[in-house]
Chains A and B, each alone.
Chain A
Amino acid sequence: MRGAGLLFLAACLLAPVTAAEPLTASKPATMLRAVEDITLAAANHDMVLVKDQPIDTALQKRGFGNPHVRVLFIGSETAVRWAEAADPLLLNLLPLRLTLVEADGMVTVMTDDFEPWLRDFPEEPAQRLLKAWRVELREVLDDYAWQ
């Protein structure tokens, strides 16, 4: 578990930011601090924390090891209405998911990978929407990293 987390962290740190898919941002933090910071970063971009899914504590409570992974969902009403109009299949991406991975005192925040979506939803409205979400999420992640 720890090995997988460290490998993931190393891959994130070594990958050039612009080429990284899914989008990632890392900084020294605890999981709780990271949740607070990402919530604030989302709010700075008119997005709301819809749900904090504490996978780490849920697994631990049931006797499994701590995966040091948590999932947050953030969204905006605009994103929902836009997806409904562009391609309802894209509703499957909403609210937008952020995966938090804690390893070695760092918390890496990662989006879903938009590349497969861009490849398999080639129509113009979907492309425009997916690219806009990716830009928004990049900004949220940058905001998180700089706080």
Chain B
Amino acid sequence: MFIRFLRGLALATGLAAGTAAATEPPILTVTIEGRDINQTLVALHRAAAGHNYSYVRQQAIDSRLVPYGQEVRSVRLFYFCNMEKMDRALRLDPRAAQWIPYRITLVETPTGVDLMAVNPAWVALGIGNPELWPEAEALKRDFLSILDEVTL
């Protein structure tokens, strides 16, 4: 009976994960037209703070890999965090570190800036621990809200 219950649970979890995985995009993206990367970074700072996240750092994609003067200026990584959310997720499963610290990548294009973030809900489905899913889902909503606010 117990084995049947476990099999059922595994099947249900697998099905739920499979269904959700099919609907969760790996990357959350928005495009901002008519603004440069520095203007977008300012807006991103403001939006993250407004959602109760602290700024951690920003860096070029090739920071420390090439001399400072030769870093690519058109791709920047913006890191931010919320200690309570981090603490909660890591208590549930250390593999939650796969989305810590939180990050949005900015890519300057000829017409504006593309922003992208790995979808924590997609990562959580890959990890396969259902206890993490509500945390990741909430985080995804915050990411989308921050990205949305940056476009305003």
Question: B51 to chain A: closest CB distance in Å?
Answer: 18
A15 contacts the other chain (CB 8 A): no
A4 within 8 A of B: yes
Stretch at the interface among A28-36, A65-73, A127-135, A136-144: A65-73
A55 touches B86 (CB 8 A): yes
Per the bound structure, the CA–CA distance linking A64 and B88 in Å amounts to 10
- Say which residue of B26, B63, B127 sits within 8 Å of A50 (CB atoms): B63
**Which bracket fits the contact residues of A?**
35 or more
State how many angstroms separate the Cβ of A38 from the closest Cβ of chain B.
14
Q: Give the contacts of B48-87 with A (CB-CB under 8 A).
A: 59, 61-66, 72, 75, 83-84, 86-87
Contact of A50 with B64 at beta-carbon distance under 8 Å, contacts A65-B87, A71-B100, A115-B126 already known: yes
**B-side contacts of A59, CB under 8 Å:** 83, 86-87, 90
Interface residues on B, range: 35 or more
Describe A's contact surface by its main secondary structure.
Answer: mixed
| B64→A110 contact, CB < 8 A | no
Contact between chains at A80 and B61 (CB < 8 Å): yes
Residues of A within 8 A of B125 (CB): 116
Taking beta carbons and an 8 Å cutoff, which residues of A are in contact with B? Answer: 1, 4-5, 8, 22, 48-51, 53, 55, 58-59, 62, 64-65, 67-69, 71, 75-77, 80, 84, 88-89, 91-92, 94-95, 97, 99, 101, 110, 112-113, 115-117, 120-121
